[in-house]
């Protein structure tokens, strides 16, 4: 396979928009995508930037900046999370919005792609400040979101409570309760059973299918996970319950290692009580960057972007990488991993369990009929198994790696829809 990336600086390498564009261009070229559709799909359709005031607890007014980027709505309403972080940038939100278009197309659900973010430090804000900021941000973007337009969901540092505030704010403007405007809500107000652990469940399916593909056994399969938030902790628990040995957890402020396996249920309880994993007695402390390159069968980055780069990719010893996070691997690192014959399940497939369950939530809200958890889990696992199969078969047929195969499959599906609809002019 020829190279995805031209020579780039580290700054370019870790720019998520550059990373997305490099893969998109490569896949579009492989597909012989016509020039017009190439240009159309390369750029997001709409980028909203809002600067808005929030009264803080100390009586002062602070200004915040928020984004909502809608990449493409050819296949259905835009769909994608909202993240709160001091590091949010427009380029990051653009990349994440594009990945949502490709992700929804890979699992073949009727959504386009979007993403949102607010530049803030949620850990330094009170609940009252977070609520006021969330409500004002929602009101600033309320003309652009809605069940048929754009349906937000949680992402880094946002959760069920954030979604409840967004739903309530939007509903107050609409003068009626509109549960289907967001997904990832609490069960009591239109949430779906199985949604909280859905991304972790999808990661578990991707691990199982990868082992099957390589004729490997769950027995003795050692897993290292980076990130112990929603995706990391739920992946870890489900994998442990299904016989995998979780030997390492790498968090922001340090990692844990136990060659006999970490008791994940106890660790979840420990983090709940202490707010961190450090100090847990059931494993040894170890620097997180060391954990990433330790011997294991499966490595699951489930924290954030750009954690596998040209700096550490050649040291990675895992046989399989299952990307729970969005954009954990740079395009340059992809090529190093490919040379090492590491099997990568790309983010737009591996973490699609979340958006798949979000789709079920949206359907249930619109029907006003709520499914049993077993139905949600069964449908989710079936969609993800089929999608895994689609991607690896596409990769074999076109002699490309799984990531490029997933992009090609997704771009082809979106392009097909656009050709069918035609271009309104």
Residues tagged active-site:
115
Per-residue CA distances from 337 to 203, 224, 236, 334, 345 (Å)? 19, 17, 23, 5, 12
- Asked whether position 231 contacts ligand NAD by CB under 6 A, the answer is yes
357 versus 392: smaller Cβ distance to ligand NAD:
357
Among 95, 283, 325, 348, binds ligand NAD (CB under 6 A): 325
131 versus 323: smaller Cβ distance to ligand NAD:
323
Q: Which residue number places its CB atom closest to ligand NAD?
A: 229
- Asked whether position 354 contacts ligand NAD by CB under 6 A, the answer is yes
- Asked whether position 252 contacts ligand NAD by CB under 6 A, the answer is yes
> In angstroms, what is the minimal distance from the CB of 156 to ligand NAD?
4
> In angstroms, what is the minimal distance from the CB of 232 to ligand NAD?
6
- Asked whether position 402 contacts ligand NAD by CB under 6 A, the answer is no
- Residue 19, phi-psi category: left (phi > 0), alpha (psi -120 to 50), beta (remainder): alpha
What sign does the dihedral 12-337-308-272 (CA atoms) show? positive
Per-residue CA distances from 81 to 100, 150, 153, 198, 329 (Å)? 9, 10, 4, 14, 20
State the burial class of residue 255 (Cβ atoms within 10 Å of its Cβ: 0-12, 13-18, 19+). Answer: buried
CB-based contact 64:91 (threshold 8 Å) = no
| HSE-CB for 89 with a 13 A CA cutoff | 9
Contact region for ligand NAD (CB under 6 A) — 129-137, 148-156, 256-264, 392-400? 148-156
- Asked whether position 324 contacts ligand NAD by CB under 6 A, the answer is yes
Contact region for ligand NAD (CB under 6 A) — 12-20, 133-141, 247-255, 399-407? 247-255
- Asked whether position 250 contacts ligand NAD by CB under 6 A, the answer is yes
- Asked whether position 351 contacts ligand NAD by CB under 6 A, the answer is yes
150 versus 251: smaller Cβ distance to ligand NAD:
251
Among 70, 210, 304, 377, binds ligand NAD (CB under 6 A): 304
Among 155, 197, 334, 365, binds ligand NAD (CB under 6 A): 155
169 versus 183: smaller Cβ distance to ligand NAD:
183
Among 84, 111, 137, 228, binds ligand NAD (CB under 6 A): 228
Q: What is the 3-state secondary structure (H, E, C) of 251-308?
A: ECCEEEECCCCCCHHHHHHHHHHHCCCCCCCCCEEECHHHHHCCCCCEEEECCCCCCE
- Asked whether position 157 contacts ligand NAD by CB under 6 A, the answer is yes
Q: Nearest to residue 283, comparing CAs of 221, 225, 230?
A: 225
79, β-bridge pairs: 151
Place of tokens 């001091």: 86
- Residue 176, phi-psi category: left (phi > 0), alpha (psi -120 to 50), beta (remainder): beta
> In angstroms, what is the minimal distance from the CB of 231 to ligand NAD?
4
Contact region for ligand NAD (CB under 6 A) — 24-32, 72-80, 228-236, 383-391? 228-236
What sign does the dihedral 107-96-354-297 (CA atoms) show? positive
- Which helix (H) or strand (E) segment is 119 a member of? strand 113-119
Among 5, 134, 199, 309, binds ligand NAD (CB under 6 A): 199
- Asked whether position 229 contacts ligand NAD by CB under 6 A, the answer is yes
Q: Nearest to residue 227, comparing CAs of 323, 296, 356?
A: 323
Task: Please state, in angstroms and rounded to a whole number, the distance separating the CA atoms of residues 41 and 412.
Answer: 11
- Asked whether position 116 contacts ligand NAD by CB under 6 A, the answer is no
Judged by CB under 6 A, the number of residues near ligand NAD is 25
Among 70, 98, 162, 326, binds ligand NAD (CB under 6 A): 326
Q: Name the residues that contact ligand NAD, by CB under 6 A.
A: 154-157, 199, 226-232, 250-252, 288, 302-304, 307, 324-326, 351, 354
């Amino acid at each position: 396979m020829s190279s995805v990336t031209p020579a780039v600086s580290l700054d370019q390498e870790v720019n998520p928009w550059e990373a997305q564009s490099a893969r998109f261009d490569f896949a579009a070229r492989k597909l012989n995508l016509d020039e017009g559709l190439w240009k159309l799909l390369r750029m997001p359709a709409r980028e909203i930037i809002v600067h808005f005031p929030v009264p803080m607890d100390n009586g002062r007014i602070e200004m915040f900046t928020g984004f909502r980027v809608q990449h493409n709505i050819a296949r259905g309403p835009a769909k994608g999370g909202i993240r709160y972080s001091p590091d949010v940038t427009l380029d990051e939100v653009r990349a994440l919005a594009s990945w949502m278009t490709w992700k929804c197309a890979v699992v073949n659900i009727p959504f386009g792609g979007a993403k949102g973010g607010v530049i803030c430090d949620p850990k330094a804000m009170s609940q009252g400040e977070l609520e006021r900021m969330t409500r004002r941000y929602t009101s600033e973007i309320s003309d652009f979101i809605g069940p048929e337009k754009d349906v937000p969901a949680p992402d880094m540092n946002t959760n069920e409570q954030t979604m409840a505030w967004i739903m309530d704010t939007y509903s107050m403007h609409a003068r009626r309760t509109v549960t289907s405007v967001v997904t990832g809500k609490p069960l009591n107000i239109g949430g779906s059973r199985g949604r909280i652990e859905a991304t972790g469940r999808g990661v578990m399916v991707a691990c199982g299918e990868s082992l099957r593909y390589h004729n490997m056994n769950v027995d003795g399969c050692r897993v290292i996970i980076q990130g112990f938030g929603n995706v990391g902790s739920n992946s870890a628990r489900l994998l442990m319950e299904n016989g995998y040995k979780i030997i390492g957890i790498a968090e922001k402020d340090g990692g844990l290692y136990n060659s006999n396996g970490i008791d994940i249920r106890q660790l979840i309880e420990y983090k709940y009580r202490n707010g961190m994993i450090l100090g847990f007695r059931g494993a040894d402390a170890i620097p997180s960057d060391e954990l990433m390159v330790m011997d294991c069968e499966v490595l699951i980055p489930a924290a954030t972007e750009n954690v596998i780069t040209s700096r550490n990719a050649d040291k990675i010893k895992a046989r399989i990488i299952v990307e729970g996070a969005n954009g954990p691997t740079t395009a340059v690192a992809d090529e190093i991993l490919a040379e090492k014959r590491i099997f990568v399940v790309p983010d737009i497939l591996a973490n699609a369990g979340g958006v798949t369950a979000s789709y079920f939530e949206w359907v249930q809200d619109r029907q006003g009929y709520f499914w049993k958890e077993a139905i949600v889990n069964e449908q989710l696992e079936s969609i993800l198994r089929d999608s895994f199969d689609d991607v690896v078969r596409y990769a074999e047929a076109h002699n490309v790696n799984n990531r490029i195969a997933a992009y090609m499959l997704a771009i082809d599906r979106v392009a097909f829809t656009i050709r069918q609809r035609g271009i309104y002019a």
